[in-house]
Amino acid sequence: MELEGRGAGGVAGGPAAGPGRSPGESALLDGWLQRGVGRGASGGEAGACRPPVRQDPDSSPDYEALPAGATVTTHMVAGAVAGILEHCVMYPVDCVKTRMQSLQPDPAARYRNVLEALWRIIRTEGLWRPMRGLNVTATGAGPAHALYFACYEKLKKTLSDVIHPGGNSHIANGAAGCVATLLHDAAMNPVEVVKQRMQMYNSPYHRVTDCVRAVWQNEGAGAFYRSYTTQLTMNVPFQAIHFMTYEFLQEHFNPQRRYNPSSHVLSGACAGAVAAAATTPLDVCKTLLNTQESLALNSNLTGHITGMASAFRTVYQVGGVTAYFRGVQARVIYQIPSTAIAWSVYEFFKYLITKRQEEWRAGK
């Protein structure tokens, strides 16, 4: 009896399993044909039998083809590592950004650009002065970014399946980023208050515990969340622009959605720059609410500055329209490498953890 061809890629009129062929040989040949070895009408040699291509056990699993391995825990661990590294590496620039956003800076703290600011801070205040407050920032960045990325990945997939089944939806990406920001800012807002007060010029706080105790005793627990609504008002559009830009660029630079470090770095850097420039006025207001600078400098503004409307009004009264863009250079310079580091580290650890999980499952 003749072996029948298997579909369009089978072998038509292949060799017969005659009486002289052992059952084992016939089964082996049949197995080759079932794997679509003979290419037949699909462009290969009709009736040609070739041995199956063996899978290299050491070959890396396809990055984006491992949804089962990319668990919530994977996203949380990768996100925590990315957040800590991002904030630690870029912390000196963040210190400069906070000072450059000051509405009424001390004459000794007026800087022309980021490099000059760093040089003067180190020369006049000590080598480690730009790093003051790093410990509390790293402590908060881990859990905040773990929640951030895990929530984003889960909602992105869920919303994309509803809005654009089987495809990528920019609306879903933006919405997922906005919801993830709620969790991230809830964890990071108290950290931001302490960090920025320690970063200011002539800050009286040398230790995190001193700053926390002073804020708690003098202004109450609510002071740690005084800028929360403003931070959300800034970060919700920031993250919507950020994620939509990142995913849009990934479609162009990395359409196969594989692990591609250069595309992650480039997409992250561009997304961060665009989002940072667009939301600088809100960041200036957030810094004012966190530092309560007008009180510290004994200006003619009295009482605590509370709420976004009050912050916007104060910024305009003190510096006019241009004050809303104080520190925009430092903010963009900070965000370009910051988001590039965050995305590249996050994607690397997501890939690495997923790969190890799949190898462990395969070895069981």
What are the tokens at 210? 């001193």
The domains located in the chain, with CATH, are: 68-218 (1.50.40.10), 253-363 (no CATH)
Out of 30-39, 94-103, 220-229, 288-297, pick the least confident: 30-39
pLDDT single digits (tens) 121-161: 999 999 999 999 999 999 999 999 999 999 999 998 899 88
- The answer to whether residue 40 scores a pLDDT higher than 80 is no
Out of 63-77, 129-143, 344-358, pick the least confident: 63-77
- The answer to whether residue 318 scores a pLDDT higher than 90 is no
SS3 state of residue 41: helix
- What average pLDDT score do residues 115-120 get? 94
How far apart (Å, rounded) are the C-alpha atoms in residues 143 and 137? Answer: 11
Band of the pLDDT at 23, cuts 50, 70, 90? low
> 190: how many CB neighbours lie within 10 A of its CB?
18
- The answer to whether residue 62 scores a pLDDT higher than 90 is no
- What average pLDDT score do residues 55-63 get? 46
- The amino acid present at 154, given as its one-letter code, is K
pLDDT single digits (tens) 203-219: 999 999 999 999 999 99
Contact 211, 157 (CB under 8 A): no
SS3 state of residue 273: helix
Helices (H), 45-133: 72-100, 114-125
Residue 187 vs residues 79, 142, 347: alpha-carbon distances, Å: 14, 10, 22
SS3 state of residue 162: helix
How far apart (Å, rounded) are the C-alpha atoms in residues 316 and 314? Answer: 5
pLDDT single digits (tens) 226-263: 889 888 888 888 888 888 888 899 888 888 888 888 89
